[in-house]
Amino acid sequence: MSFFDKLQNVDRRVIFLVTFLIVALPLVRPIGLPIPIGPMTQAFYDTVEKLKPGDVVMISFDYSAAVLAEQYPQSKSAIAHVLAKGAKIVAVCFWPDAPTFIDNAITDVLGKAQDHPKYGVDFINLGWVAGGETAMASFGKDIHATCAKDHYGKPIGALPLMKDVKSAKDFKLVIALSTGTPGYRELVRQIQAPYAIPLVVGVTAVTAPEVRPYFPQQIGGVLEGLAGAAEYEILLKRYGYVGTLSAPMDAQSLGHLLVIFFVVLGNIGFVLKKYGKAK
């Protein structure tokens, strides 16, 4: 095997080991690279900033455990921001994995979820609604008929927050934290468009290119993956929100550099071999 072939055929075990080290090191010893605020994150933040005390916000948690690293920080920040504005949260999910994430995110922000004295007054966890896009449509039309009870089995009619919240018309904003189907697209079709409610979304980085066409008409702002979550955390510092994503973003930076390094390395071997043959 020639030198140029070797450049193109680095053993995958070496690649895996280097990847592990490059990603793990900044997590142990963060670099603290500055994180610039992107326009999509700024738009997300500005939309939430327009909320007034007492406004009711629907937050839809439509993701699985696989994407927790990206979407859980988005979830916590969104909850913290909405509550900091004095608005109220109706949390729901159309993915079966997510009721626990709602519970955990609220607990991380407020210390307690179901047992919090403001449960049912300032926020509520409606849990999972089966039925995908149809469930979203039904939820938008009549929340009480779709979810008679909350995630913990309490009738929602008895909770003060839900007394005046009957359908999607009663929401001032919808925040979709989604990663697939059903997700933000279905919420655009079933909630945002029919009821003309502002919608902002938090998605994984791989989903971000698909969201762009909806911005800014249907979707008012986007948190794009871990980078979006980290930028949002920085914007929330003025509310005393303490972020945790500086080190993971360093890891992501070095990870991206590593991919570029290997791609360049492979191409050097490829071009030199091709050039050598031509000669």
Partner 1 sequence: MSAVVRRYLPLLITFIVGMMVIGDYYFKTPATASFNKMTSDAMVFVLVVASFAVIVGTGTATRIHVRNLTKKRAGWYNSLGLLVALYGMLILGLVLAEGKFTAHPMYAYWWTTIYVPLDSTIMSLLAFYIVSAAYRAFRVRTREATVLLISAVLVMLGRAPIGQVVWSDLGPITSWIMSVPNTAAMRGIIIGVALGTLSMSIRVLTGRERGYLGPGA
Least separation in angstroms between CB 53 and partner 1: 29
Residues 6+ apart with CB under 8 A from 168: 58, 139, 140, 141, 143, 174, 191, 194, 195, 197
Where on the chain is the footprint of partner 1 (CB under 8 A)?
10, 12, 15-16, 19-20, 23, 33-36, 38-39, 64-69, 97, 99-100, 103-104, 114, 127, 129-132, 134-135, 137-138, 141-142, 145-146, 151-153, 194, 205, 208-210, 212-213, 224-225, 227, 249-250, 252-260, 262-263, 265-267, 270-271
Sheet (strand 56-62) strand order: 123-128, 88-93, 56-62, 173-178, 199-203, 222-224
CB nearer to partner 1: pick between 158 and 260 = 260
For partner 1, give the closer residue by CB, 56 or 254. 254
Q: How far is the CB of 160 from partner 1 (least distance, A)?
A: 20
Angle at Cα 37 formed by Cα 36 and Cα 43, nearest 5°?
A: 170
State the minimum distance, in angstroms, from the CB of residue 95 to partner 1.
12
Radius of gyration of the CA atoms of the chain, in A: 22
Shortest reach from residue 242's CB to partner 1, in Å = 19
Cβ distance to partner 1 smaller for residue 55 or 131: 131
Longest alpha-carbon distance in the chain: 82
CB of 40 to partner 1, least distance (A): 9
- Number of neighbours of residue 177 by Cβ within 10 angstroms: 31
